[in-house]
């Protein structure tokens, strides 16, 4: 046997490493000749032999073990073919054993060197103690590993068992459903007990109602309680409920109607069908409505037949129609709608969507509506607004082909353009959905969120589907399957103060196009019963809503008057755009308009020219100006509101210079006898200001001449006069500033010519002067007749009342001494001024002398004066009438010119062609760019929207009729949307504040207030003692103070009842009332804070006694208080004659701009 030999000849066996480790703990401490040393030596020899052996068949590495007394012991493993070892902790280091090469004998034995082997034995002996401790630790670790593995196996086993269990359970359920075994047994007795316990009849007694017949409820998502869906159906269409439950995640309330002698079978079928599909319901309330005939024949007399248990197989469940013709009770559609709303749960539902069972919501409609109601904070608006959701019909062939239903507006429009989809009831009742304005809805951009789009003014027979608050008026149960069933409720909702708003990006749909042959005989048709019921409904409606100011339009008015305007929020404007709009900058047109439908385009110059012509029509301007792009832009800027305002400011400054120039009008008194000290302003500052205005006038007139052209300027008299005056004024201004300076006090003709600037800029003043010039001879002749009349009677007076030298106070000596005095005094009498009275001295001398003056007055005032007035009135009336006709003609020509420009378009091939019609979208683009009143823009846009419903193009007649809206005056027709009141307490209080009796009480208090102030002021000189004055006026002062507080409260209540904007925009008198009331209120409060009493102070009385002019706070209160007498003006129009007089007075102030302008020009 090959081996390793000791020096004494003892052979060391190559013993296995594991056996040595197991035997070492039982050998004790080794000595030189012990078995332990023998084993250690054998291990060392084995270790050495493995390091040098090659091609050995052992196939493993042995270990060397030694003993030692070091503080750190461990087991070292020798790695083959290396001089490095790795300890048990993983550290790599030197073995500390010097291994030298050994000799290899011929018999594969190894010679042993004692010195070398001694070091290995020492190292191996050091590990004995550590080995004993390591064995104990390894034994514990081994138990822990076993326990961990056992737990891990148990967990994995449980998971596998659960998976297997689930698979087997699902397989069993699938096999059970596929088998012929029944799904469950249904006992119908509880349902009929519910009918007997919960039944009630409606008002007519023809229908039996069971509220909450069945209920299904599960957990809802967040905010799902906000909206509820109300449906109604008969038993035949009950299966359509699944289409709603798949897309509606909120509560659903369904009214189910059954009739016929087999109604019990229908109820059994409904209960079975609902039980089979119960997993699809989230929150569903079923309300049963049956005809009284069905209850009497099928249920009430057959209690014993209802104890039936059904073996239900859901997959084989089908409906068999048991309805017989003997039960002719009509389908109570409105009653079913009311029952569904009444049974809506949970109670936290705030908004309801009422649909027919065959009208389906689009997917995610519920979540879009929840987001719409939760994101916007206008809760008050939500409570008075009904949001309309457009409804469509999808062709049945599209459904049969398997075409996917539209999931958003983009997909819906694609089907619409392909004629696979159309608006609801388009074939059977086009006007029933007319106000939804489908074409305008189609053109609006598609977005991912709901946007309010239009606010239509309700008119029958519009019957939209809408979502609104829960307290909206209920449906009138008198209507069954009539044409006016839903129309009546929509009409009452509008009269009750609710507004309709069409929503964008959401819609409803119906499968299949409606055909008249598919409808009942009374549905969507004006049968006699429906018309009579609706007439009675309207009478009841008028009695119920007495205080409403709303009025719905009749069917024949729907084409000519539709109040549908865009309410979607406009895009946010930058500060620059807002500033341009405020200053009146014209809107820019920077790009051409391309119409893909007609394969043509309109250049920016064409749109600019049409816009300028339309603005000329707005301003009654002539279109005889250059139409190149450069001059069009210049003309548009000159006609812009900003330039007009600047020109008006320059005119005012130029005319007001007369008050500042030497001699100025700023002095304490105007009596020249007192030689008042006048404020003299610097000469150079006034000249610079005047120079700026003259330069502006020069730029203004030369720009206008450049735009109009020399040939057209030659026909315009006032522009030529303006140009001449401007040139002369500039020349004189320059001479005065450079050469003459302020030392010259002679005539300055430019000051006399200043009114020319204002006359040329005022159309009314030019018309007045032209009227005078056109009828000057007639007016002069009539005035000459009056002067001849005065001259004749002056000469007669000198003969009849001669001058007396004995009586210097005689009539002839006083008034008719000379012809000049006689003419002057009779002229005073003719003008009805008569101050001093020229008749009384002659009448005192002799009574019959009065006949002279009576004849003079009768002829002069009642004949000649009327002739002069008639001549002047006829002259001005005729000229102004012809001027108005000319202005209208200029407007019509400008409108026609703008349309003719738009008729020309450029095709995609570059050719210019002319057509007889223009796309409405192009007209809308021009309208949006034109500078005009917002009121006119809104009404014209609405009229264009109406025309777009009929056709997408517009002809000349339609365009001209549409632009006739420019003739309307927005000031004479204020647009006030006053909210209609309901029946709650706040609305009743508002109705009280709106009533005429509330105004009457305020007027009575105003009269009492003025009366108390008058008594208080009139009795002040009588009571010289201050204490007597206080005792006399204290009650009236306290009462008057209370009146002032009431007036302020009255204004606040009225503004709250009508709305602040509506109240102050309704009349100028309201603004005056509020101003006077709050001024008196503030002054009274200040007076009470200062003096502590509403009585006049003693200091003020002493100042009055000393005749010192003083306007005290108390006097200001009383003067302001006296203004309350104006409230009597509102009662003057109660009489027809007084109304005419008051209206004439107000018209004089409203239309007297030209007259006041002439007075101002003459004064300046």
Predicted local distance difference test score (pLDDT) of residue 33: 47
Match 């009743």 to its residue by tokens: 988
Helical H segments across 1059-1112, by residue range: 1060-1066, 1068-1091, 1098-1105
Q: Determine phi and psi for 420, rounding to 5 degrees.
A: -95, 0
Predicted local distance difference test score (pLDDT) of residue 337: 93
How would you classify the pairing of strands 252-258 and 283-291? parallel
How would you classify the pairing of strands 4-5 and 11-12? antiparallel
Domain boundaries, the chain: 4-137, 185-358, 377-566, 640-761, 985-1158
Cα 516 to the center of its chain, rounded Å:
39
Predicted local distance difference test score (pLDDT) of residue 467: 92
With a CB cutoff of 8 Å and minimum separation 6, the contacts of 1032 are 1019, 1023
Q: Determine phi and psi for 724, rounding to 5 degrees.
A: -65, -45
Q: What is the largest CA-CA distance in the chain?
A: 198
Apex CA 725: angle with CA 720 and CA 726, to 5°?
Answer: 100
CB count in 10 Å sphere of residue 679: 9
Give the pLDDT means over successive 10-residue stretches in the chain (1164 positions).
43 46 49 49 48 38 38 37 36 38 39 47 50 57 75 80 68 51 62 84 88 81 80 90 89 91 83 84 89 82 54 67 67 91 83 92 87 65 81 88 85 88 86 84 79 82 89 88 82 87 90 71 54 82 74 45 40 63 71 58 83 89 86 86 88 86 73 72 87 92 88 85 91 84 73 85 79 82 88 83 58 66 81 67 74 85 85 79 85 91 80 84 86 84 80 88 84 53 70 82 83 73 61 78 86 85 75 84 82 66 52 70 69 62 65 59 55
Q: 528-541 as b/e, with b when 16 or more CB fall inside 10 Å?
A: eebeebbeebbeeb
Predicted local distance difference test score (pLDDT) of residue 592: 59
Q: How far apart are CA 355 and CA 463, in angstroms?
A: 12
Supply 998's token pair.
């509330």
Q: Do 590 and 899 contact (CB within 8 A), yes or no?
A: no
CB count in 10 Å sphere of residue 1059: 17
Helical H segments across 833-919, by residue range: 840-845, 850-859, 866-903
Residue among 843, 851, 850, 824 at smallest CA distance from 835: 824
Q: How far apart are CA 493 and CA 499, in angstroms?
A: 8
**Whole-number Cα distances in Å, 1101 to 165, 677, 1041, 1061:** 108, 33, 20, 43
Supply 865's token pair.
């004066």
How would you classify the pairing of strands 309-312 and 184-187? antiparallel
**Whole-number Cα distances in Å, 804 to 241, 793, 798, 1126:** 117, 19, 11, 53
Q: Do 62 and 47 contact (CB within 8 A), yes or no?
A: yes
**Whole-number Cα distances in Å, 72 to 24, 69, 89, 386, 1108:** 19, 9, 12, 90, 121
Supply 890's token pair.
């200029």
Q: Do 85 and 75 contact (CB within 8 A), yes or no?
A: no
Positive/negative CA dihedral, 1102, 1108, 1113, 1119: positive
Q: Residue 85 forms beta bridges with which residues? A: 78, 93
Predicted local distance difference test score (pLDDT) of residue 809: 53
Q: Do 67 and 124 contact (CB within 8 A), yes or no?
A: yes
Supply 697's token pair.
């006038």
Q: How far apart are CA 807 and CA 811, in angstroms?
A: 9
Predicted local distance difference test score (pLDDT) of residue 95: 38
Predicted local distance difference test score (pLDDT) of residue 453: 83
**Whole-number Cα distances in Å, 616 to 260, 638, 888:** 72, 12, 12
Q: Determine phi and psi for 655, rounding to 5 degrees.
A: -75, -30
Q: How far apart are CA 956 and CA 563, in angstroms?
A: 23
Residue among 326, 327, 265 at smallest CA distance from 292: 327
Q: How far apart are CA 739 and CA 744, in angstroms?
A: 10
Q: How far apart are CA 313 and CA 182, in angstroms?
A: 5
């Amino acid at each position: 046997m090959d081996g390793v030999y000791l020096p004494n000849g003892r052979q060391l066996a190559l013993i296995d490493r594991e056996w040595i480790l197991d035997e070492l703990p039982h050998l004790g401490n080794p000595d030189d000749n012990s078995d332990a040393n023998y084993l250690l030596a054998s291990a060392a020899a084995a270790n050495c032999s493995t390091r040098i052996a090659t091609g050995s068949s052992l196939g493993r590495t042995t270990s060397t073990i030694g003993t030692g007394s070091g503080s750190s012991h461990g087991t070292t493993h020798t790695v083959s073919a290396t001089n490095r070892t790795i300890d048990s902790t993983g550290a790599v280091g030197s073995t500390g054993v010097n291994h030298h090469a050994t000799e290899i004998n011929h018999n594969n034995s190894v010679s042993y060197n004692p010195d070398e082997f001694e070091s290995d034995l020492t190292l191996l002996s050091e590990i004995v103690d550590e080995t004993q401790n390591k064995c104990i630790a390894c034994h514990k670790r081994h138990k822990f590993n076993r326990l961990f593995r056992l737990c891990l196996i148990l967990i994995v086993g449980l998971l596998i068992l659960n998976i297997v269990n689930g698979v087997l359970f699902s397989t069993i359920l699938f096999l059970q459903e596929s088998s012929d075994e029944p799904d469950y047994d249904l006992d119908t007795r509880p349902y009929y007990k519910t009918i007997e316990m919960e039944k009630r009849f409606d008002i007519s007694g023809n229908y039996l109602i069971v509220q909450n017949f069945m209920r299904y409820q599960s957990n809802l998502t967040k905010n799902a309680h906000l909206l509820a869906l109300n449906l109604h159906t008969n038993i035949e269409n009950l299966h359509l409920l699944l289409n709603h439950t798949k897309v509606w995640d909120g509560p659903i309330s369904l009214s189910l109607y059954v009739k016929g002698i087999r109604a019990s079978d229908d109820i059994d079928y409904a209960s079975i069908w609902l039980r089979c599909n119960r997993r699809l319901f989230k929150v569903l309330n079923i309300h049963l409505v049956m005809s009284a005939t069905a209850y009497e024949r099928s249920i009430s007399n057959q209690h014993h037949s209802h104890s039936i248990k059904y073996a239900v197989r859901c997959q084989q469940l089908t409906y068999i129609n048991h309805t017989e013709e003997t039960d002719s009770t009509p389908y109570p559609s409105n009653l079913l709608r009311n029952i569904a709303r009444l049974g809506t749960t949970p109670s936290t539902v705030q908004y309801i969507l009422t649909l027919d069972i065959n009208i389906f919501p689009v997917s995610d409609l519920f979540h879009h509506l929840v987001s719409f109601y939760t994101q916007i904070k206008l809760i008050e608006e939500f409570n008075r607004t009904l949001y309309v959701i457009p409804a469509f019909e999808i062709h049945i062939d599209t459904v049969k082909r398997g075409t996917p239903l539209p999931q958003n507006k983009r997909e819906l429009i694609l089907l619409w353009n392909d004629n696979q989809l159309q608006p609801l009831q388009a074939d059977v009742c086009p006007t029933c959905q007319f106000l939804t304005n489908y074409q305008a809805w189609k053109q609006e951009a598609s977005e991912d969120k709901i946007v309010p789009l239009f606010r239509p003014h309700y008119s029958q027979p519009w019957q939209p589907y809408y979502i609104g608050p829960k307290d909206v008026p209920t449906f009138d149960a008198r209507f069954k399957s009539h044409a006016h069933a839903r129309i009546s409720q929509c009409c009452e909702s509008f009269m009750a103060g609710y507004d309709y708003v069409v929503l964008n990006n959401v819609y409803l749909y119906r499968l299949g196009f409606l055909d008249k042959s598919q409808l009942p005989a009374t549905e969507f048709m004006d049968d006699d019963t429906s018309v009579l019921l609706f007439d009675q409904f309207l009478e009841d409606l008028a009695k119920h809503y007495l205080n409403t100011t709303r009025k719905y339009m009749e069917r024949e008015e729907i084409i000519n008057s539709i109040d549908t305007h865009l309410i979607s929020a406009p895009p946010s404007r930058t500060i620059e755009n807002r500033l341009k709009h405020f200053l009146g900058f014209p809107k820019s047109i920077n790009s051409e308009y391309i119409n893909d439908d007609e394969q043509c385009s309109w250049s920016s110059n064409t749109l600019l020219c049409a816009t300028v012509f339309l603005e000329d029509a707005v301003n009654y301007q002539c279109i005889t100006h250059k139409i190149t792009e450069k001059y069009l832009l210049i003309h548009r800027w000159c006609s812009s509101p900003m330039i007009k305002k600047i020109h008006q400011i320059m005119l005012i400054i130029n005319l007001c210079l007369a008050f500042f120039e030497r001699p100025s009008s700023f002095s304490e008194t105007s009596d020249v006898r007192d030689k008042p000290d006048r404020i003299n302003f610097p000469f150079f500052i006034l000249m610079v200001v005047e120079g700026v205005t003259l330069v502006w006038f020069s730029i203004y007139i030369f720009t206008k001449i450049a735009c109009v052209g020399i040939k057209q300027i030659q026909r315009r008299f006032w522009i030529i006069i303006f140009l001449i005056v401007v040139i002369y004024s500039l020349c004189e201004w320059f001479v005065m500033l450079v050469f003459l300076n302020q030392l010259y006090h002679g005539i300055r003709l430019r000051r006399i010519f200043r009114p020319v600037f204002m006359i040329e800029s005022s159309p009314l003043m030019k018309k007045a002067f032209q009227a005078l010039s056109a009828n000057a001879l007639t007016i002069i002749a009539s005035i000459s007749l009056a002067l001849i009349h005065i001259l004749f009677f002056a000469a007669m007076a000198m003969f009849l009342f001669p001058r007396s030298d004995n009586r210097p106070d005689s009539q002839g000596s006083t008034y008719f001494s000379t012809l000049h005095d006689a003419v002057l005094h009779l002229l005073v009498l003719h003008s009805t001024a008569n101050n001093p009275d020229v008749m009384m001295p002659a009448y005192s001398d002799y009574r019959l002398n009065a006949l002279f003056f009576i004849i003079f007055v009768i002829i002069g005032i009642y004949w000649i004066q009327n002739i002069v007035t008639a001549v002047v009135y006829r002259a001005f009336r005729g000229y102004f009438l012809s001027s108005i006709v000319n202005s209208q003609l200029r407007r019509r020509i400008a409108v026609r010119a703008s349309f003719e420009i738009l008729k020309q378009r450029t095709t995609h091939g570059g050719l210019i062609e002319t057509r007889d019609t223009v796309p409405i979208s192009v007209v809308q683009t021009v309208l949006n760019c034109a500078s005009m009143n917002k009121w006119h823009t809104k009404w014209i846009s609405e009229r264009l929207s109406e025309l777009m419903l009929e056709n997408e193009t517009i002809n000349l007649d339609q365009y001209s009729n549409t632009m006739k809206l420019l003739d309307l005056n927005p000031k004479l027709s204020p647009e006030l949307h006053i909210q209609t009141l309901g029946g709650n307490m706040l609305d009743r209080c508002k109705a009280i504040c709106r009533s005429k009796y509330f105004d009457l009480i305020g007027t009575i208090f105003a009269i009492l207030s003025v009366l108390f102030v008058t008594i208080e002021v009139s009795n002040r000189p009588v009571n010289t003692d201050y204490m007597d004055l206080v005792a006399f006026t204290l009650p009236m002062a306290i009462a008057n103070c209370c009146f002032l507080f009431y007036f302020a409260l009255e204004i606040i209540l009225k503004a709250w009842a009508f709305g602040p904007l509506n109240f102050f925009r309704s009349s100028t008198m309201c603004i005056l009332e509020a101003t006077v009331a709050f001024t008196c209120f503030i002054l009274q409060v200040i007076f009470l804070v200062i003096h502590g009493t509403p009585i006049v102070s003693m200091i003020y009385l002493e100042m009055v006694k000393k005749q010192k002019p003083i306007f005290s706070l108390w006097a200001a209160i009383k003067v302001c208080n006296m203004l309350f007498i104006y409230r009597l003006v509102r009662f003057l129009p109660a009489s027809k004659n007084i109304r005419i007089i008051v209206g004439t007075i107000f018209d004089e102030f409203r239309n007297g701009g030209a007259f006041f302008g002439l007075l101002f020009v003459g004064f300046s």
